Amino acid sequence: MQNFKKQIRDYYAHFYKDGDEAHKIDHADDVCELALKINKNLDEKLIILASYIHDMFNAKDRPIHNELAYEYVMRAEDEFLKTLNQKELKEVAHAVLEHRASFKGEFYSELSELISSADRGEPDLEKVVIRSMKFNNGNAQDVYEHIKDKYGSKGYAKYPDVYVKIFKDELKLFQERADNITVDEILAMNNNATS
């Protein structure tokens, strides 16, 4: 499976080259790694494909990047997607469509829930701060507002059931920390990471 993963990574890497610093190919690597780690019974081939496709159009059109990825998968125009049957295509397509933290519907399949969970990353506030600082070009005030709005206990980020089961205690602490974070703490976390 390592060889397949490398082929997929190499094939889709060019889509990520113009992404912002928080959405380069290393983000897809992280999503794939966590998805494979928490996977119980799903086809690893589909997990790898969905992980590397999910943000491939983020640099092109962030507001609808998941919709563009869905359409790309459903067209099955590349050599890897052509090997999938219709059921597999739909599972991968819906997984990339439904991966965003703002997704409000019911997940199409376990694969959708798994990729959405992996896209959240493990509940680690320092990692979220550092990634958010990259995305917001180091603007700590914007990151502060983003963390409160998205990751706090009343934030809009949706955590799939599988994620909550695996990270229940860590998620609670993560949300409490997000609720109480300050701009100074954000700057300190970023400084520690870049020094």
The single residue listed with the structure tokens 């954000």 is 186
Asked if 40 and 152 count as a contact pair (C-beta separation under 8 A), the reply is: no
Cα distances (Å, whole numbers) of residue 66 to 6, 9, 85: 23, 18, 21
Reference 22, options 47, 54, 59; nearest CA is 59
H, E, C per residue of 61-130: CHHHHHHHHHHHHHHCCCCCHHHCCHHHHHHHHHHHHCCCCCCCCCCCCHHHHHHHHHHHCCCCHHHHHH
Domain ranges within the chain, ordered by starting residue = 2-120, 125-194
Asked if 123 and 174 count as a contact pair (C-beta separation under 8 A), the reply is: yes
Q: Considering the domain delimited by 2-120, tell me its CATH architecture.
A: Orthogonal Bundle (1.10)
pLDDT tens for each residue of 139-173: 999 999 999 999 999 999 989 999 999 999 999 99
pLDDT tens for each residue of 86-105: 999 999 999 999 999 889 89
What is the rounded distance in angstroms from the CA atom of residue 40 to the CA atom of residue 72?
A: 27
What is the rounded distance in angstroms from the CA atom of residue 16 to the CA atom of residue 14?
A: 5
Q: What is the pTM of this model?
A: 0.89
What is the rounded distance in angstroms from the CA atom of residue 118 to the CA atom of residue 32?
A: 7
The two structure tokens encoding residue 87: 């059921």
What is the rounded distance in angstroms from the CA atom of residue 116 to the CA atom of residue 51?
A: 10
pLDDT tens for each residue of 43-81: 999 999 999 999 999 999 999 999 999 999 999 989 999
